[in-house]
Structure 1
């Protein structure tokens, strides 16, 4: 039964057209990042970036280097779409995109992480076997079929993304639509729809539909009687997100995924009318079956575990942010914070209050007060800077206060802890973060 489910041969039109869409979208993402100024603001203008902790060695290239870097990634996207040097192109893009993802988190979107995962999966898929330059140059590559596990690898990943996104919304501030109202406040200036987005009835529609869409969209696409309705619902939902939240290619990537839910023959007739169909439904168990089960099992086990890890970390993830990333907690909260850094010279006892704006860009300033890992990393940055001048210092975060979902500001970081010398706890709670309001008294 499992063999037939995963290793039946089917028409590969779904994978081929997805490769084309995927390559076009990632090239637009990379070229667009240059043209819109995202690369300049995020990777060139900052004096330093807030990388994922543990990846300090990943730093932006100097000068105009990051422009060339993104241009190269965009060009790789074109090669992926054309199916030219596909393995080289997709592996290179995966490595380069993962590097960008890890070297900065000031501009963070879940679709950046999803691109890492989908690119990684695509490295192992035979997406260049048809309608590609590679197949034209090497007829031995040409094939009109693929094994069904290829399709299910993408679908399983989507089930994880959407299911966890839905479950994460089942908390107080989403269920009473308060966070939806907060998210819409800064959309009031949008032409035509800005005023409508402030209406309470629309907040309820957005809140309820957000939960239901994420929970039901994959099953609805899989079930043939509801597939077309789900497809048109996806178009509306993702175009709405694109217009209102302006989150890059993610809505269009999400729509591209829908090709895996329609019958291969339907996709072939729409996009590849001249393509020879494959209709045999032959069972073919590959020699690498055991390796596939081991690696695929480990991969999806990690994907299932990462989004629930915050349940094993002390306190509320909405407050501490510990376990928030890599967990599909999308558009769940709004954070703002303020603090000052006090530097104390260990030898002289001299105290200095740091002017954050002397070090950080406007976007970094909006992040620094509300995220504990940013606060810790900045303290480490100050420690290194003063050490280069021969000074040993202590760093304290004073007057640290945070507001979650526009609620009253609360004390956030213990001002008595020397952040320059405390270690970052990767897997458990960092005790210098004050308890969340209501969990216990400070």
Structure 2
């Protein structure tokens, strides 16, 4: 028991050991800058209108059906607040409040419509939440300038380790998710995506070669599985970071995956020694070596509480990507346990859905096209996602009931998955009006049929 207690105390001391705050401050600056750039990008491209104001219907995450867009010009005001919070985080002004507003305002936007889900949205929500509790504003910030007593050259080591853990988790689980036949044996979906760029000058014909897709798939899996290890090693760190930059610049150039490459390139800097910005930017941080200084530590009970919360967070972040083992079949096909699991760029799916609405009193049948209720982007994302197909079915039922009808709703849903022939994904005999969504396995999703020759698909990846 004494040995176990000693180990526990050693862990507490290690997590609260002071480390140079410089790299944490740079992380804050880059994160705020990238978030501000994202807000400007949304505004400039008209996505606030297209994604959140124009749609008459929004797909909800389980348990968040109460989240809805602001009326009128409210969404523009909301994005203005999000942009202001991002700028304040970047500048380190009113940091704690700004970080909380950034987390709440961004996560609200993320929860508005499941059709807009991207992996890096989830990462932003997690990181912005964690930053609320991290003292990242004690250096290179306006808070430290206006209140010198707040300034500090060090921060507790747990903040550095937590960010490294969170960023590293993305790569590790993305690599583990690639250890599947489609990626390693068939070279899909990279083969589909690369061949779509065969018209590019010079490299275009090469991208149409099957061996290139297989080589790129293998390289991508090896990169994701090993890059964190190499970033943690002093001798290999510069080469690993060069690989991070090269890898993400290539994916940014070839695939429309938004801010994800830039977020990962900026975040990977957290693996460098914590004092690297002090050596690179002495005008901002000073070039003197920071000596450990007395820390304003919480009580012994408070320290143990922090360690317990850190362990609980780590356990949750590891468990969520593994929950797909609780569901039968291929999670990329059924999408059960697929989201919030860092399954990045694994799927090329194209779908088609038509609803058959049957009046229970008269037996009259009406065929409903989803575009009657959805925008083109929503139709595209819904047609490949069983849970979204179910939610729209319930919306159709509510629409007919509002007009005095009592109807059954069936889905004729077909999906092409990673180049396979199109096949049904929903049991067409199941009345979806009687199906209630839950986190349990969904028996009305048809299993993937691996038989048949590959079909041709010319899609584009999303960093889902």
CA contact (8 A) 1:31 1:70 kept: no
Please report how far the alpha carbon of residue 194 of structure 1 lies from its aligned counterpart in structure 2 after TM superposition: 4.2
CA distance in 2, matches of 1:188, 1:27: 34
Query: TM-score, structure 1 length as denominator?
Result: 0.94
Match of 1:251 in 2: 261
| Runs of 5+ consecutive residues of structure 1 not aligned to the other structure | none
60 and 11 in structure 1: CA distance in 2 versus 1, 3 angstrom threshold = same
Query: 1:77 and 1:272, CA in 2 relative to 1: closer, same or farther beyond 3 A?
Result: farther
**Of the candidates 209, 219, 229, which is equivalent to residue 209 of structure 1?**
219
1:430 to 429, 435, 442: 442
CA RMSD of aligned residues (A): 1.9
1:349 maps to 363
Distance (whole Å) between structure 1 residues aligned to residue 88 and residue 176 of structure 2: 37
Q: 1:29 to 1:134 in 2, by over 3 A?
A: same
What is the rounded CA distance, in whole Å, between the counterparts of 1:146 and 1:211 in structure 2?
34
The separation in 1 between residues aligned to 2:289 and 2:397, in whole angstroms, is: 63
Conserved? CA contact 1:49–1:103, under 8 Å: yes
CA distance in 1, matches of 2:340, 2:284: 41
Distance 1:91 1:221 in 2: 30
Corresponding residue number in structure 1 for 2:106: 97
Q: Give the count of matched residue pairs.
A: 437
Match of 1:321 among 335, 349, 354: 335
Paired with 2:47 and 2:200, the residues of 1 have a C-alpha distance of 21
Between the aligned partners of 1:190 and 1:360, the Cα distance in structure 2 is 33
Q: 1:194 to 1:361 in 2, by over 3 A?
A: farther
Deviation at 1:189, TM superposition (A): 4.8
Is 2:116 aligned against 1:107?
yes
Alpha-carbon distance between aligned partners in 1 of 2:15 and 2:87, rounded to the nearest angstrom: 30
Provide structure 2 residue ranges, at least 5 long, that are not aligned to the other structure: 1-9, 452-464
Residue number in structure 1 paired with 2:179: 170
> Which of 44, 65, 69 is 2:78 aligned to?
69
C-alpha displacement at 1:122, in angstroms?
0.7
Question: TM-score, normalised on structure 2?
Answer: 0.89
Q: Which residue of 2 aligns with 1:408?
A: 421
Query: Residue in 2 aligned with 1:153?
Result: 162
Instruction: Spell out, residue by residue over 1:8-56, the C-alpha distance to the aligned partner (whole angstroms, 9 max, x if none).
Output: 1121001111111111000101110111122222212222121213212
> How far does residue 275 in structure 1 lie from its aligned partner after superposition?
2.7
Query: Secondary structure, in 3 states, of the residue corresponding to 2:236?
Result: helix
Aligned with residue 304 of structure 1, among 281, 299, 318: 318
The 8 Å contact of residues 31 and 71 in structure 1, kept in 2 or not, is answered as: no
Q: How far apart are the structure 1 equivalents of 2:77 and 2:124?
A: 20
- Residue 245 of structure 2 corresponds to residue 235 of structure 1: yes
User: In 2, are the aligned partners of 1:396 and 1:418 still within 8 Å (CA)?
Assistant: yes
Relative distance call for 1:123 and 1:418 in structure 2 (3 A) is same
Q: Is contact 2:175-2:221 (8 Å) kept?
A: yes
Q: Deviation per CA, 1:330-388: give whole Å up to 9, x if none.
A: 11111112221011222332221112222221112222321101100101111121222
Out of 315-324 and 189-198, give the one that drifted further: 189-198
Q: Which residue does the alignment assign to 2:455?
A: none
Q: What do the CA deviations read for 1:85-109 (whole angstroms, capped 9, x no partner)? A: 1111110110111111111121222
Q: Match of 2:57, SS?
A: coil
Cα displacement (A) at 1:4:
4.2
What is the aligned counterpart of 2:387 among 359, 362, 373? 373
1:15–1:127 CA contact under 8 A, matched in 2: yes
> Following the alignment from structure 2 to structure 1, what is the Cα–Cα distance between the partners of residues 393 and 68?
18
